[in-house]
């Protein structure tokens, strides 16, 4: 069972780097010092690897939603931080979650879509709560949610642990940008550093 986790780990890395279809089972096996066919002593199929990686990533993102508390502003702040932290800690899996899931076939595809929708609905819930309480000002909660999700989801494309900006800095400023977009002007903050 431990070996299976190793396989999943490497599979996540390869799928995220080269893409699902461009990763062959033999290549995966080579990274584990195995023969191609030996993988099937631990897993049923290539697609199983993909859905498992998607599930692992989904669990991390959904975990962020569960930890939210406080007023809508605090929730958005924690959401931005949490989302970026998952991406920082799980870049390969997050990448698969955001992209490679599309290559799943119907039964698993449906599951992946459901997991992603749950996350999106969680985010929308926070936005809606802020709108209902009069804290966020936006014409359409739906569009503001899509905007927020877009800003968050794309970060896996450019965030690199070794980059010039620390996760702390990025989180801090991203949260500010998002809150401003939602119509929340921070007290005592005039926009200059």
Partner DNA sequence: CCTACCGATCGGTAGG
| Residue 70 binding DNA, by CB under 7 A | no
| Residue 167 binding a second copy, by CB under 8 A | no
Choose the stretch contacting DNA; rule: CB under 7 A; options: 23-31, 72-80, 104-112, 168-176.
23-31
| Residue 128 binding a second copy, by CB under 8 A | no
What is d(CA 54, CA 105) in angstroms, rounded to the nearest whole number? Answer: 13
Among the listed residues 44, 150, 162, 187, the single contact to a second copy using CB under 8 A: 150
| Residue 174 binding a second copy, by CB under 8 A | yes
With b meaning 16 or more CB within 10 Å and e meaning fewer, what string describes 30-61?
A: eebebeeeebeebbeebbebbbbbbbbbbebb
CB closer to a second copy, 133 vs 137: 137
Residues 27-66 as x/- pattern, contact with DNA by CB under 7 A: x-----xxxxxx-xxx-xxxx-------------------
| Residue 44 binding a second copy, by CB under 8 A | no
CB of 40 to DNA, least distance (A): 4
For a second copy (CB under 8 A), the number of binding residues is 43
∠ CA 79-116-105, nearest 5°, is: 160
What is d(CA 76, CA 69) in angstroms, rounded to the nearest whole number? Answer: 10
| Tokens standing for residue 93 | 């899996």
**Residue 97's closest CA among 160, 53, 155?**
53
- Residue 1 interacts with, from a second copy, DNA, none (CB under 5-8 Å by kind): none
| Residue 140 binding DNA, by CB under 7 A | no
| Tokens standing for residue 187 | 């007290």
């Amino acid at each position: 069972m431990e070996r299976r986790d190793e396989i999943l780990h490497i599979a996540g890395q390869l799928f995220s780097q080269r893409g699902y279809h461009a990763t062959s089972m033999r290549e995966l096996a080579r990274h584990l010092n195995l023969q191609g066919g030996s993988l099937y002593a631990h897993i049923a199929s290539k697609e199983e690897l993909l859905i498992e990686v998607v599930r692992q990533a989904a669990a991390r993102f959904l975990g962020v939603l569960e930890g939210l508390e406080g007023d809508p502003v605090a929730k958005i702040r924690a959401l931005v931080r949490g989302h970026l932290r998952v991406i920082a800690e799980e870049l390969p899996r997050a990448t698969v979650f955001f992209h490679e899931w599309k290559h799943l076939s119907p039964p698993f595809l449906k599951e992946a879509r459901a997991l992603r929708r749950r996350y999106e609905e969680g985010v929308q819930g926070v936005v809606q709560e802020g709108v209902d309480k009069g804290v966020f000002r936006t014409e359409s909660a739906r569009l503001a949610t899509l905007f927020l999700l877009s800003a968050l989801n794309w970060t896996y494309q450019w965030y690199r642990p070794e980059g010039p900006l620390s996760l702390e800095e990025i989180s801090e400023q991203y949260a500010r940008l998002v809150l401003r977009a939602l119509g929340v002007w921070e007290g005592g903050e005039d926009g200059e550093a």
